[in-house]
Chain A
Amino acid sequence: MRLTPDTAGLEQWMKSWYGPAYRTACLVLNDSAGAEEAVQEAFLRMWRFRDAMPEGDAARPWLYRVVVNSCYSWARKEWAADGRRAPAASLDSLAESSPGPDEIAVIGDRATAVRAALARLPEALRVPVVLRYYAGLSEKEIALAIHRRPGTVKSRLHEARRLLSADAALNALAEEKEATR
Chain B
Amino acid sequence: MITDDELEALLREAGGDFVVPTHGPDAILAAAAPPAKDATVVRGRFHFRELALAGTSVAAVVTLVIVLLTQSASSPVVPVYAGARSPGTEASPTSGIAATRKSAVFSTLNTTTQHTVALAGRDIIATGTLRLEITRAALSRDVARLDALAAAFGGYVSAANIAESGSRPGGTIAVAVPAPSFSAFVAKAEAIGKVRSLSTTKTDVTAQVVDLGARLTALVDERNQLEVLLGRAGKVSDLLAVENEIEYVQSQIEQIQGEQRTIAAQVSYSSLRVDLAVPGSSHATSSPNGFGHAWHQAVSGFVSGVKAFVAHLGDLLFGVLSFIVAALIVFGLWRAVWPRVRRRIA
**Residues in A lying within 8 Å of B, measured CB to CB:** 7, 10-11, 14-15, 18-19, 22-24, 26-27, 32, 35-36, 39-40, 43-45, 47-48, 110-112, 114-115, 118, 129-130, 133-134, 161-162, 164-165, 170-171, 173-174, 177-178
Question: Which stretch (B18-26, B223-231, B283-291) binds chain A?
Answer: B18-26
- Contact across chains for B11 and A22 when beta carbons are under 8 A apart: no
Once the chains are docked, how many angstroms separate the CA of A114 from the CA of B15?
Answer: 9
- Contact across chains for A133 and B8 when beta carbons are under 8 A apart: yes
Contacts of B191 in A (CB 8 A): none
Once the chains are docked, how many angstroms separate the CA of A10 from the CA of B31?
Answer: 12
- Contact across chains for A134 and B18 when beta carbons are under 8 A apart: no
- Contact across chains for B9 and A177 when beta carbons are under 8 A apart: yes
Shortest distance between the CB of B339 and any CB in chain A (Å): 12
- Contact across chains for B24 and A22 when beta carbons are under 8 A apart: yes
Q: A110-B14, A161-B4 are in contact. List 5 more A-B contacts (CB 8 A).
A: A14-B25, A23-B20, A26-B15, A40-B31, A45-B346
Instruction: Decide: A133 near B7, CB < 8 A? Known: A18-B24, A174-B2.
Output: yes
Once the chains are docked, how many angstroms separate the CA of A171 from the CA of B27?
Answer: 39
Contacts of B1 in A (CB 8 A): 161-162, 165
A-B pairs, 4 with minimum CB distance: A111-B17, A114-B14, A174-B6, A23-B15
* Cβ-closest chain A residue relative to B7: A133
Contacts of A15 in B (CB 8 A): 25
B13 CB-CB contact with A under 8 Å:
yes
Once the chains are docked, how many angstroms separate the CA of A45 from the CA of B2?
Answer: 37
Majority secondary structure of chain A interface residues (helix, strand, loop or mixed) = helix
- Contact across chains for A118 and B14 when beta carbons are under 8 A apart: yes
Contacts of B346 in A (CB 8 A): 45, 48
Contacts of B232 in A (CB 8 A): none
- Contact across chains for B6 and A36 when beta carbons are under 8 A apart: no
Instruction: Decide: A129 near B7, CB < 8 A? Known: A14-B29, A36-B21, A40-B24.
Output: yes
Residue in A23, A118, A177 whose beta carbon sits within 8 Å of that of B18 in the complex = A23
Contacts of B235 in A (CB 8 A): none
Once the chains are docked, how many angstroms separate the CA of A129 from the CA of B2?
Answer: 13
Once the chains are docked, how many angstroms separate the CA of A57 from the CA of B2?
Answer: 29
Once the chains are docked, how many angstroms separate the CA of A32 from the CA of B24?
Answer: 12
- Contact across chains for A18 and B27 when beta carbons are under 8 A apart: no
Contacts of A24 in B (CB 8 A): 15
Residue in A35, A111, A129 whose beta carbon sits within 8 Å of that of B13 in the complex = A111
Instruction: Decide: A7 near B34, CB < 8 A? Known: A18-B28, A23-B20, A40-B27.
Output: yes
Once the chains are docked, how many angstroms separate the CA of A7 from the CA of B6?
Answer: 40
* Cβ-closest chain A residue relative to B343: A48
- Contact across chains for B7 and A11 when beta carbons are under 8 A apart: no
Shortest distance between the CB of B194 and any CB in chain A (Å): 87
* Cβ-closest chain B residue relative to A160: B7
- Contact across chains for B4 and A10 when beta carbons are under 8 A apart: no
Contacts of B29 in A (CB 8 A): 10-11, 14
Once the chains are docked, how many angstroms separate the CA of A82 from the CA of B38?
Answer: 38
Contacts of B3 in A (CB 8 A): 174
Contacts of B13 in A (CB 8 A): 110-111, 114, 177
* Cβ-closest chain B residue relative to A43: B28
Contacts of A161 in B (CB 8 A): 1-2, 4, 7
* Cβ-closest chain A residue relative to B23: A36
